[in-house]
Structure 1
Amino acid sequence: MKYKQIHTSQLDKNNLYLKMKSNAESSHLSKRASRISGLGAIHALNKAKQLEQEGYDIIHLEAGELDHDTPQHIIQSAKRSLYDGKTRYTSTQGTLTLRESVACHIYSSRNVSCSPSDVIITPGVKSGIFFTILAIIDPGDEVIIQDPSFPSYSAITSLAEGKPIMWSQSPASGYNYDIDKLSSLINPKTKLIILNDPANPTGNIMKKSTIESIAELAIKNDLWVLTDEIYSQLYFDGIVPYSILSVPSMKDRTILLDGFSKTYAMTGWRLGYGIYPQRLIEPVCSLMLNNHSCIPEFIQDAGIAALNGPQHFVEQLRTELSNRRMLVCETITKARNLSCHTPSGALYVMIDISKTHSPEAISFTEGLLSSGVSLLPGTMISENCTSQVRLAYTVAKPILSTALQRIESFVN
Structure 2
Amino acid sequence: MPVASRISDRIGSIAESATLAVDAKAKAMKAAGEDVIGFGAGEPDFPTPEYIVDAAAEATRNPKHHRYSPAAGLPELREALAEKTTRDSGYRIDGQPLAASNVLVTNGGKQAVYNTFATLLNPGDEVIVPAPYWTTYPESIKLAGGVPVDVFAGPEQGYRVTVDQLEAAVTERTKVLVFVSPSNPTGAVYSPEAVAEIGRWAASKGLWVVTDEIYEHLTYDGAEFTSIASLPELADQVVVLNGVAKTYAMTGWRVGWMVGPADVIKAASNLQSHATSNVANVSQVAALTAVTGPLDAVEEMKTAFDRRRRAIVEGLNAIPGFDCPTPEGAFYAYVDVRGALGEDGTAAGIAGKTPTTSAELAELILEEAKVAVVPGEAFGPSGFLRLSYALGDEDLARGIERIRSLIAGS
TM-score by length of 1: 0.90
The one-letter code matched in structure 1 to 2:291 is: L
What secondary structure, in the 3-state scheme, does the structure 2 residue paired with 1:351 have?
strand
Partner in structure 2 of residue 397 of structure 1: 393
How far has the Cα of 1:388 moved from its partner? 0.9
Provide the aligned C-alpha RMSD in A: 1.5
Q: Percent identity?
A: 31
Q: CA deviation at 1:50?
A: 2.1
Determine if the alignment matches structure 1 residue 381 to structure 2 residue 396.
no
- Residue 53 of structure 2 corresponds to 75
- For residue 359 of structure 1, report the CA deviation from its aligned partner: 5.0
- 1: CA distance, partners of 2:233 / 2:155: 33
Structure 2 residue aligned with 1:199: 183
Larger mean Cα displacement after TM superposition, 165-174 or 294-303: 165-174
Give 2:83's match in structure 1, choosing from 104, 117, 133: 104
In structure 2, C-alpha distance between the alignment counterparts of 1:106 and 1:160, rounded to whole Å: 26
Is there any run of 5+ residues in structure 2 with no aligned partner, and where? 92-96, 341-346, 348-354
* Amino acid aligned to 1:78: A
1:268 deviates by 0.9
1:206 shift after superposition: 1.2
d(CA) in 2 for partners of 1:320 and 1:238? 16
Equivalent-residue separation in structure 2 for 1:305 and 1:143 (angstroms): 35
Picking from 248, 268, 274, the partner of 1:290 is 274
Matched, 1:35 2:5: no
**Residue identity opposite 1:402 in structure 2:** R
Does the aligned pair in 2 maintain the 1:196–1:228 contact within 8 Å?
yes
Q: Structure 1 stretches of 5 or more lacking a match? A: 1-24
- Distance in structure 2 (CA, Å) of the matches to 1:136 and 1:106: 21
Contact 2:108 2:256 in 1 (8 A): yes
1:32 is paired with a residue whose SS is helix
Conserved 8 A contact 1:177-1:210? no
Matching of residue 223 in structure 1 with residue 207 in structure 2: yes
- With normalisation by structure 2, the TM-score equals 0.91
CA–CA distance in structure 2, aligned partners of residues 279 and 181 of structure 1: 31
Cα offset, 1:363, TM superposition: 1.9
Distance of 2:224 and 2:100 partners within structure 1: 25
Whole-Å separation in 1 of the counterparts to 2:224 and 2:4:
47
Name the CA distance, whole Å, in 1 between partners of 2:101 and 2:362: 46
Secondary structure in 2 aligned to 1:249?
Answer: helix
Superposition pairs for residues 77-226 of structure 1, below 5 Å? 77-85=55-63, 86-112=65-91, 113-226=97-210
1:362 to 2:362 alignment: no
1:301 pairs with one of 282, 285, 309: 285
* Superposition deviation, residue 150 in structure 1: 0.8
Tell me the alpha carbon deviations over residues 13-54 of structure 1, each in whole angstroms, 9 at most, x when there is no partner: xxxxxxxxxxxx961211111221211111111222222222
Deviation at 1:303, TM superposition (A): 0.8
Size of the aligned set, in residue pairs, is: 386
Q: Distance in 2 between matches of 1:206 and 1:270?
A: 28
Which of 48-57 and 196-205 deviates more? Answer: 48-57
Deviations 1:250-271 (A, max 9, x none): 1110100110000011111110
* Mapped contact 1:88–1:296 kept (Cα < 8 A): no
Q: Structure 2 matches for 1:230-249, cutoff 5 A?
A: 230-249=214-233
Question: What's the CA shift for 1:80?
Answer: 0.8
Return the alpha-carbon distance in structure 1 between the equivalents of residues 26 and 280 of structure 2.
32
Select which of 47, 50, 55 maps to 2:25. 47
The residue type equivalent to 1:105 in the other structure is K
Q: Does structure 1 retain, via aligned residues, the 8 Å contact 2:359–2:377? A: yes
- Return 303-312 or 57-66, whichever deviates more: 303-312
Inter-partner Cα distance in structure 1 for 2:5 and 2:270: 31
Contact kept in structure 1, 2:255 and 2:284, CA below 8 Å:
yes
Moved over 6 A (4+): none
Deviations 1:85-120 (A, max 9, x none): 212111112112111211222233223331222111
Structure 1 position 282, deviation (Å): 1.6
For 1:142 and 1:107, the matched residues in 2 are separated by: 29
2:318 to 328, 334, 340: 334
CA–CA distance in structure 2, aligned partners of residues 61 and 323 of structure 1: 16
Q: Distance in 2 between matches of 1:229 and 1:103?
A: 14
Tell me the CA shift for residue 337 of structure 1.
Answer: 2.4
* 1:372 corresponding residue in structure 2: 370
The letter for the 1-side match of 2:241 is L
d(CA) in 2 for partners of 1:360 and 1:296?
A: 42
Mapped to 2, the partners of 1:26 and 1:200 lie a distance apart of: 38
